[in-house]
Amino acid sequence: MTSNIGWELYRSFLGVLDEGSLSGAARGLGITQPTVGRHVAALEQALGVVLFTRSQTGLLPTEAAESLRPYAQAMQSTAASLERAAGGQGADGIVKGTVRISCSDVIGVEVLPPILAGLHAAHPQLKIELVLTDKLQDLLRREADIAVRMVQPKQEQLIARHIGDIELGLHAHRDYLARRGTPRRPDELAGHASIGYDQPSAWLRQAEKALHGLRREVFTMRSDSNLAQLALIRAGAGIGMCQVPLARRDPHLVRLLPRLFALPLGTWVTMHEDLRSSPRCRVAFDALVAGLSDYLGATGRRQPDPKLTPSQTGR
């Protein structure tokens, strides 16, 4: 096997993996199809393995290719992180470059936009990449610079600030309640349309007792997208769980049985300790902490004056 294989070969390899064809990879990478073909052939020769087989539907990855996928993706993340770090360097005192932020769909769509707008207004040369996912982006491999997480990070190389708990509560639209009536006791929920998850996450399994019988089997409408659940509640489709501060922004949403249904959702802002001294990451980190603290303040569960600490402390 040849050593010192150039990154561009792995880049083309990943392009073909993602697109399933040389032409698709070429379009995505902004290079020519013959160049992608040469890169893949050179990588196969250097590694001494066959990476793709041809089929009627395109190029199919071999077992060897699939085994290389996570390592090539890690290289891709590192290269992107390197570019973001290099772009933020400068002695002119101006914060610039790119910062990549990962968060859940609801936080990314409903909560962060005004925070990020303010961040960009304060630092117009700063570029922001927003990744919406419920998966934990790997900060150790630099898939993201900063993550807003709803579970406490455990890796010692990460620093985190615990903002507090977002309260989740049971809500419905006023129009729905006008049609179907307002449940006053938990047993009255059985006669209502309910909105909830399809596949339970680890957090939901832990919170099952606090849901007082609300589980997959009883939901009238199911989705693992929190945004879809929120949209259904807002459309008057039924009763479901949503973030209390979000519901308080909408006068049409009514909270139900608040003493029974009040689930705390912990919130942390996290980044790799190596980025502590990065101006682009620090200003973004501080903006997220300040904005999310204001948002959580609407629930009365905000952490007072949170400190930047190693992630294992949980504070």
Q: Tens digit of pLDDT for each residue in 259-276?
A: 888 888 899 999 888 788
If one compares 145 and 83, the residue with the highest pLDDT of the two is 145
Q: What is the average pLDDT across 231-252? A: 95
pLDDT at 86: 61
Question: Is residue 254 over pLDDT 80?
Answer: yes
Q: Can you tell me the distance from the alpha carbon of 58 to that of 17, in angstroms, rounded to the nearest whole number? A: 11
DSSP code at position 302? B
Let me know: does 284 contact 145? Beta carbons within 8 Å.
Answer: yes
Helix (H) / strand (E) containing 164: strand 158-173
Please give the distance of CA 92 from its chain centroid, rounded to a whole number. Answer: 33
Helix (H) / strand (E) containing 130: strand 126-132
CA 110 to each of CA 148, 178, 205, 243: distance values in angstroms, whole numbers, following the listed order? 13, 26, 25, 10
Q: Can you tell me the distance from the alpha carbon of 144 to that of 51, in angstroms, rounded to the nearest whole number? A: 28
Let me know: does 242 contact 104? Beta carbons within 8 Å.
Answer: no
pLDDT at 304: 44
pLDDT at 315: 30
If one compares 299 and 111, the residue with the highest pLDDT of the two is 111
Whole-model pTM: value is 0.67
CATH number of 92-315: 3.40.190.290
Which residue bears the tokens 């698709």? 24
* 38, HSE (Cβ side, Cα atoms, 13 Å): 7
Domain map (residue ranges) of the chain: 7-86, 92-315
**Between 1.10.760.10, 3.10.310.30, 3.20.20.100, 1.10.10.10, what CATH number should domain 7-86 receive?**
1.10.10.10
In the chain, the percentage of residues whose pLDDT exceeds 90 is: 46
Let me know: does 99 contact 281? Beta carbons within 8 Å.
Answer: yes
Q: Can you tell me the distance from the alpha carbon of 111 to that of 289, in angstroms, rounded to the nearest whole number? A: 12
If we measure between CA atoms, which residue out of 43, 35, 33 comes closest to residue 9? 43
* Residue 6's pLDDT band (cuts 50, 70, 90): confident
Let me know: does 97 contact 280? Beta carbons within 8 Å.
Answer: yes
Backbone angles phi, psi at 3, to 5 degrees: -90, 170
Q: What is the average pLDDT across 301-315? A: 43
Let me know: does 62 contact 50? Beta carbons within 8 Å.
Answer: yes
If we measure between CA atoms, which residue out of 115, 144, 149 comes closest to residue 130? 144
pLDDT at 303: 47
Please tell me which of 4-18, 214-228, 237-251 the model is most confident about, judged by mean pLDDT: 237-251
Q: What is the average pLDDT across 87-108? A: 79
Q: What is the pLDDT of residues 154-199, one digit of tens each?
A: 777 788 899 999 999 999 999 999 999 999 988 898 889 999 888 7
Question: Is residue 13 over pLDDT 50?
Answer: yes
pLDDT at 210: 60
- Longest Cα pair distance anywhere in the chain, in angstroms? 72
If we measure between CA atoms, which residue out of 263, 285, 249 comes closest to residue 115? 285
Residue 139 CB neighbours (<10 A):
26
If one compares 96 and 235, the residue with the highest pLDDT of the two is 235
Question: Is residue 33 over pLDDT 60?
Answer: yes
If we measure between CA atoms, which residue out of 301, 290, 283, 272 comes closest to residue 96? 283
Helices 7-19 and 33-47: crossing angle, nearest 10°? 110
Residue 258 CB neighbours (<10 A):
12
- Mean pLDDT, all residues of the chain: 83
| Token reading at 272 | 């790799």
